[in-house]
Amino acid sequence: MSITVRVIQRYDFRHEEEFMELEKKFAELEKARPDFPNGGRRMQPLAGEEWKNTLIWECEFPDLNTAQKFLDFTAVDAEHDKLFKQQQPFFEGVRIEYFRNLDF
């Protein structure tokens, strides 16, 4: 059973331009490195529960163990950490959600 991981990042709207520029660099990093998952996507809410100054990254993994290993990997990867440290001052809140994908 596959798992979808969703990372919800709310950022200070006054720094949207800087936040999004860094997010583009994260996307470039993911595309350039084979050890990053293929198929991650980014979304920004237009209407709904989340505020507009929210970026949502989500990706499907084959199982919960693989999803957790990837999140653990991002915590120690030097290139990811360098970008994260630049983006971190703009965060207002971050949460991670896991979803079991139902294959009926």
Q: Which domains does the chain have, with CATH numbers?
A: 3-99 (3.30.70.100)
Res 37: pLDDT: 87
The full DSSP string for 12-29 is: -GGGHHHHHHHHHHHHHH
User: For tokens 């001052």, what's the residue?
Assistant: 89
Q: Where would I find the H helices in 1-104? A: 16-32, 64-76, 78-87
**Tens digit of each residue's pLDDT, the chain (104 residues):** 899 999 999 999 999 999 999 999 999 999 999 999 888 999 999 999 999 999 999 999 999 999 999 999 999 999 999 999 999 999 999 999 999 999 89
Res 103: pLDDT: 87
Res 94: pLDDT: 96
Res 39: pLDDT: 86
